[in-house]
Amino acid sequence: MQDDKNLSEIDIEGQKIIANKELSIWEALIPVIALIGMLAYNVFVFGDNALSGSNQFILILGGATAAIVGFKNKVSYKVMIDEVAENIKSTAGAILILLMVGALAGTWLISGIIPSMIYYGLQILNPTIFLAACLIICAVISIATGSSWTTAATVGIALIGIGEALGISLGMTAGAVLSGAYFGDKMSPMSDTTNLAPAMAGTDLFTHIKYMAYTTVPTIIVTLIFFIILGFTQNTTGTADTQQMLSDINKAFNINPFLFLVPIAVVILIMKKTPPLIALLAGTLLGGVFALIFQPQVVAQVAGVKSLDFNSAYKGVMNAITVKTSVATDNEVLKDLFTAGGMEKMLGTIWLILCAMIFGGVMDAIGALAKISSFLLNLFDSVFGLFASTVATCIGLNFTASDQYLALVVPGKMYAKAYQDKGLAPENLSRTLEDSGTVTSVLIPWNTCGAYHSGVLGVPVIDYAFYAVFNWLSPFMTLLFAAFRIKIREIIKK
């Protein structure tokens, strides 16, 4: 395979893993420990801005640390670069999907599809079932936008105000908002974490979403029941006045139920097992067509003209697909929701993936991943032990590295080989990453997600943590499934 005599290849389900007989477990762990330490300090210094590029460079420094360990153990530079190239090549599908997701979000905004979802969702509010309604509304909006951050910063703020007017605890309302927002964030194909987890584990997007539903749907049902019961114990006062927001949405867009034909078409394509790129491309193009039919004034605004012709229509739709676009509104709460980033918005996540592949590629090339995998398999004789270790690592990284993306990236690369050696399909790992890494980030005050949401909603983490039932129940649900071997897919029969 290569000139380095101390290296050998192990083939598991067609994927080659490099083993290094000269590498000890402690040497294999040096880059991981160094990476976690550097990331923790970096997030401490940069806070929410760490994802703007410094975290990505820290991943490269982690790869450099691994390279130093490799050189010490007689691994050549060429072997490391070749493995990095293979790793990056393996993420090509995920990167293309991420770009298409950004494009789809842009046309779904200017076509009025996302605003229509919000418009009809807000009308189901009722004081008696307010908390359950918060959960449902935020879940729908988060699925549509693929972002828990956008959901909390827009409708979440409005719901906090409404809940306060009704005399409902801010912690309860924030817990319902975040439970729904993170359910949608997990299950939406437009979510960056939902794309990141399968990319790290080695499975595809829609297999990941389908497999994740086994643990996520029961968790959200339990959460919904909790808020329904909790809602009936509240003595609410006042009324839920959403008329101003509804009026402002109506002023900016032509709200029409026919717009739902586009997401329905995409869902049908997905159910018929259409390749994700084709389904997302179809949704993007249909969104552009519907924008021209139902929202010509919005397309003209995005294009920067007063009246549409063929060239300006093309420019408006293309802007929505590729770059950041905003639809004008006087409502401060709606301004963020009326903004989409297009394909450009996804470049930060793609940058993170590429840098993660550098770290993972060098770790693989020097034999560190194989060594850690072997150590884990010896340490955990049971399947449950491996799942429990993954959950603990993800939550631990949320505490130490303070970033949900890194709580997916590092365990994803570190545990992928261990799951393969156990004969477990990669979707087991991707699901566990999301069940424990994505959702628990908001429960930690110094994590970027906890700091962001508590700041945006104006509710301290300690006040909403208990009521964010979906977020803390998800890791327990994935462990329950692992303990009783429920929906644990195998690729190798032992």
Which amino acid is it at 195?
Answer: N
More confident residue, 282 or 268: 282
Distance CA 429, CA 253 (A): 41
- What's the pLDDT score for residue 2? 46
Distance CA 38, CA 46 (A): 12
- Using an 8 Å Cβ cutoff, are 21 and 6 in contact? yes
More confident residue, 211 or 242: 211
Segment among 8-12, 276-280, 400-404 with least mean pLDDT: 8-12
Share of the chain above pLDDT 90, in %: 40
- In degrees and rounded to multiples of 5, residue 122 shows phi and psi of -65, -25
| Contacts (Cβ under 8 Å, ≥6 apart) of 231 | 128, 129, 130, 131, 132
Cross-strand bridge partners of residue 490: 424
More confident residue, 201 or 8: 201
- What's the pLDDT score for residue 360? 82
Provide long-range contacts, Cβ within 8 A and 24+ apart, for 305-313: none
- What's the pLDDT score for residue 243? 79
**H or E element, residue 156:** none
More confident residue, 7 or 55: 55
- What's the pLDDT score for residue 180? 97
- What's the pLDDT score for residue 11? 45
- What's the pLDDT score for residue 417? 82
- What's the pLDDT score for residue 455? 84
- Using an 8 Å Cβ cutoff, are 438 and 450 in contact? no
Distance CA 121, CA 116 (A): 8
- What's the pLDDT score for residue 4? 60
Beta strands in 30-166 (DSSP E): none
What confidence tens digit (pLDDT) does each residue in 27-67 have?
A: 989 998 998 899 889 888 887 677 778 888 998 999 999 99
Q: Is the dihedral of CA 45, 345, 122, 224 positive or negative?
A: negative
Q: How confident is the prediction for the chain on average, in pLDDT?
A: 86
**Count of CA atoms in the C-beta half-sphere (13 A) of 483:** 7
Which amino acid is it at 202?
Answer: G
Classify residue 333 by burial, with Cβ atoms within 10 Å: 0-12, 13-18, 19+.
Answer: middle
Segment among 184-193, 267-276, 408-417 with least mean pLDDT: 267-276
Q: Provide the terminal-to-terminal Cα distance of the chain, rounded to the nearest Å.
A: 28
The arithmetic mean of pLDDT across residues 90-108, rounded, is: 84
Cross-strand bridge partners of residue 11: 16
What confidence tens digit (pLDDT) does each residue in 422-447 have?
A: 889 999 999 999 999 999 999 988 78
Helices (H) and strands (E) in the chain, counts: 26, 4
Domain ranges of the chain: 7-91+346-484, 97-344
Distance CA 262, CA 280 (A): 11
- What's the pLDDT score for residue 264? 87
Q: Is the pLDDT of residue 3 over 60?
A: no
pTM of this prediction? 0.72
Helices (H), 380-468: 383-400, 404-421, 426-433, 448-457, 461-464
What confidence tens digit (pLDDT) does each residue in 311-366 have?
A: 999 999 999 999 999 999 888 778 877 888 899 988 887 888 788 888 888 988 88
Token pair belonging to 17? 């893993």
- What's the pLDDT score for residue 5? 55
